[in-house]
């Protein structure tokens, strides 16, 4: 959707400096931009590269002023760039219409403009809202409810009774609502504990490829509005996650963990069962939280077991020096042993 720099600035609520009639046709990176592209910079160190690029306009912070380049000043350049990209180069629809090989149960109710891909299966009493898109090979189990404008990419599986809000995006290979890992040990054998709960996913949640989310044992596994899960994230049964959290790849969260709002997880974080992570906490990559541990509101933690960042910074350099310290200790012990031998001989 081509537009002038003036039109784009008005749409973004920014201040235009330069050629108001500059034609903006798309977006690009600093390295790959071409005439007609919009680029952005958040750091002054990248500003020279942006000014030297052939891009037709640059999104910059509010306090930036330059000559000989069309710029649009905004409070948050990266966010403004995301909005501009969605306007200039909107994501194409996953598919259109309903493929003849899709299997849709006669009791399923599909809203207006629902698209269903090849070999998808929609079971009995499913409710799917207006404008949803289901990619090839998706399976939507019985009694599932989906809100409006949800997108399921190819091979997503929703088990029975799962509930999605509006504008939920689930990427390929994700499995939502499988049984939790719950067993009772009886006389040396494991018997399955019933997994009769469900999964509830609120509006504007995005779930990455090959992620797995288990249903609650008796109640719900819950993901709050606006939360984003990366690829290969695992949520066990009865996990409850608040709003606007971000969870990076290969994170595993054990059963009955409670997570507040706006919590950030680095990659490969491991959370043991029955932990509580309060609002605005930050968990660094690969940190591990033991069972029943609480991470307090706004705290940043790192390491295994997870500890406050300031404490971790004091502890970690000592770990790196362990070979050196062990050698020094061995040398001291050797000197002490020789001294003791000389005392005995005298």
Residue ranges of domains in the chain = 3-88, 103-309
- 3-state SS of 232-271 is CCEECCCCEECCCCEECCCCEECCCCEECCCCEECCCCEE
Residues in the chain: 346
Report pLDDT digits (tens) over 127-152: 999 999 999 999 999 999 999 999 99
Burial of 310: CB neighbours in 10 Å, binned 0-12, 13-18, 19+: exposed
User: For all residues of the chain together, what is the average pLDDT?
Assistant: 94
Question: Three-state DSSP class for 74?
Answer: coil
Fold of domain 3-88:
3.40.1390
For the annotated catalytic residues, the residue numbers are 237
Contacts of 243 (CB under 8 A, 6+ apart): 202, 224, 225, 226, 227, 261, 262
Q: What pLDDT score was predicted for residue 310?
A: 85
338 confidence band (pLDDT: 50, 70, 90): confident
Q: What pLDDT score was predicted for residue 221?
A: 98
Percent of the chain with pLDDT over 70: 99
If you average pLDDT over residues 105-112, what whole number do you get? 97
Which one of 1.10.10.10, 2.160.10.10, 1.10.645.10, 2.60.40.10 gives the CATH number of domain 103-309?
Answer: 2.160.10.10
**CA–CA dist 82, 14 (Å, integer):** 14
Contact 252, 234 (CB under 8 A): yes
Whether 325 shows a pLDDT value over 90: the answer reads no
Whether 334 shows a pLDDT value over 90: the answer reads no
Whether 6 shows a pLDDT value over 70: the answer reads yes
**CA–CA dist 287, 303 (Å, integer):** 4
Question: Three-state DSSP class for 212?
Answer: strand
- Tokens 């008796």, residue? 218
Report pLDDT digits (tens) over 34-57: 999 999 999 889 999 999 999 999
313 confidence band (pLDDT: 50, 70, 90): confident
* pTM higher than 0.85: yes
- Rounded to the nearest 5°, which phi and psi values hold at 214? -85, 145
Q: What pLDDT score was predicted for residue 53?
A: 93
Report pLDDT digits (tens) over 82-106: 999 999 998 888 888 999 999 999 9
Report pLDDT digits (tens) over 273-299: 999 999 999 999 999 999 999 999 999
**CA–CA dist 197, 96 (Å, integer):** 33
| Strand 307-308 to 300-302 pairing | antiparallel
In whole angstroms, what separates CA 248 from the centre of its chain? 5
Q: What pLDDT score was predicted for residue 67?
A: 82
Burial of 57: CB neighbours in 10 Å, binned 0-12, 13-18, 19+: buried
Whether 319 shows a pLDDT value over 90: the answer reads no
Q: What pLDDT score was predicted for residue 346?
A: 64
Q: What pLDDT score was predicted for residue 180?
A: 94
Contact 282, 302 (CB under 8 A): no
Q: Among candidates 113, 116, 94, 96, which has minimal Cα distance to 104? A: 116
């Amino acid at each position: 959707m081509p537009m002038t720099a003036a039109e784009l600035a008005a749409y973004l609520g920014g201040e235009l400096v330069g050629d108001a009639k500059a034609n903006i046709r798309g977006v690009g990176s600093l390295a790959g931009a071409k005439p007609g592209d919009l680029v952005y910079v958040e750091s002054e160190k990248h500003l020279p590269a942006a000014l030297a690029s052939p891009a037709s306009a640059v999104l910059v912070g509010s306090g930036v002023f330059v000559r000989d380049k069309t710029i649009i000043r905004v409070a948050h350049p990266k966010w403004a760039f995301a909005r501009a990209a969605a306007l200039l180069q909107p994501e194409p629809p996953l598919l259109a219409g309903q493929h003849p090989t899709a299997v849709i149960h006669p009791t399923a109710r599909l809203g207006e403009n629902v698209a269903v891909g090849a070999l998808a299966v929609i079971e009995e009493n499913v409710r799917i809202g207006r404008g949803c898109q289901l990619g090839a090979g998706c399976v939507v189990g019985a009694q599932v409810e989906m809100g409006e404008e949800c997108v399921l990419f190819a091979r997503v599986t929703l088990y029975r009774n799962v509930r999605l809000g509006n504008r939920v995006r689930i990427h390929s290979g994700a499995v939502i609502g499988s049984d939790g890992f719950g067993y009772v040990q009886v006389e040396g054998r494991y018997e399955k504990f019933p997994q009769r709960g469900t999964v509830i996913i609120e509006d504007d949640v995005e779930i990455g490829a090959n992620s797995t989310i288990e249903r609650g044992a008796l109640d719900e596994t819950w993901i709050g509005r606006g939360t984003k899960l990366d690829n290969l994230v695992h949520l066990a049964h009865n996990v409850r996650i608040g709003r606007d959290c971000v969870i990076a790849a290969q994170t595993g969260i054990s059963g009955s963990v409670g997570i507040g709002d706006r919590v950030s997880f680095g990659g490969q974080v491991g959370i043991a069962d029955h932990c509580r992570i309060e609002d605005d906490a930050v968990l660094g990559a690969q940190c591990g939280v033991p069972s029943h541990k609480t991470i307090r509101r706004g705290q940043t933690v790192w390491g295994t077991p997870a500890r406050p960042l300031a404490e971790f910074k004091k502890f970690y350099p000592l770990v790196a020096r362990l070979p050196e310290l062990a050698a020094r200790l061995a040398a001291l012990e050797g000197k002490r042993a020789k001294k003791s031998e000389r005392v005995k001989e005298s």
